[in-house]
Homo-oligomer: A and B are copies of this chain.
Amino acid sequence: MTDPTAPGPLAAVAALMADPARARMLAALMGGEALTAGELARVAGVTAATTSGHLARLAEGGLVVVHAQGRHRYHRLASEHVAAAIETLGGLAARIAPVRHWKHGEEARAARLCWNHLAGRLGVALHERLTGEGLLRPVSGGWDAAPEGRARLVATGVDLDRADAAPRFACDCMDWSERRPHLAGGLGREIAAAWIGRGWLRRLPATEDGDILARRRVGLTPAGRRGLKDAFGLEAA
């Protein structure tokens, strides 16, 4: 316990992300869905045996939580904080590494999920629009929706009661590609859920290669484009 060779907590959590196979799994989980060990094995490109070990370590380290259901074991990211850290680290990596061209990079820059909320240009534009118009205002440690903002969000199907029940939507993630904040937390989650639910957003098919963006890309449907324009005057790219 008081092992003098023990890595500090920072090194320990970094080590969990430092393995290529584990990093691919975490990236896949950034899509927000709970995935089985088998699915994660495929995206990571290793056998089931290897995957099992990796997932045990990730769970032990608190990055992932497991939910057994029948003969499947579903894994998802443990919390918003894990997602935010991965997003931030991914952003740093993208900034530092030679600009490697992801096959679907352009689509992902346009709109994607960051665990359970909206990111990419669309997520950033939404955040800017809401804050710039005063529909969201800064409060202690985060954002709160002004009455006018609440009404407009509810009109688009967002369940604000459930968003309010969340601890607080203090966490505005720093965006991977745009280097600007987008809306995370309970409100971000409810927005994404509502708009996917009413068909404004649609998940784009996962890529088969080990792409870090697999399962994260979303697209705005024509209905969504219209809806966002009507509700917020938002002209999506």
User: Which residues of A approach B to under 8 Å, CB–CB?
Assistant: 5-15, 17-20, 22-24, 26-27, 61-63, 81-82, 84-86, 88-97, 100, 124, 128, 131-132, 138-142, 170-172, 174, 179-181, 212
Chain B residues near A132 (CB-CB < 8 A)? 138-140
Q: Which residue of B lies closest to A7 (CB)?
A: B20
Partner of A86, one of B6, B10, B81: B10
Q: Are A212 and B23 in contact (CB under 8 A)?
A: no
Chain B residues near A95 (CB-CB < 8 A)? 81
Q: Complex Cα distance A90/B10, Å?
A: 5
Q: Complex Cα distance A212/B138, Å?
A: 31
Chain B residues near A10 (CB-CB < 8 A)? 17, 23, 26-27, 86, 89-90, 93, 212
Distance of A210 from chain B, by nearest CB (Å): 8
Chain B residues near A14 (CB-CB < 8 A)? 14-15, 17-18, 23, 89
Q: Complex Cα distance A81/B18, Å?
A: 18
Q: Are B141 and A180 in contact (CB under 8 A)?
A: yes
Q: Complex Cα distance A202/B181, Å?
A: 32
The 8 A-B residue pairs whose C-beta atoms are closest, nearest first, are A9-B93, A14-B17, A11-B23, A15-B18, A9-B97, A62-B96, A18-B18, A7-B20
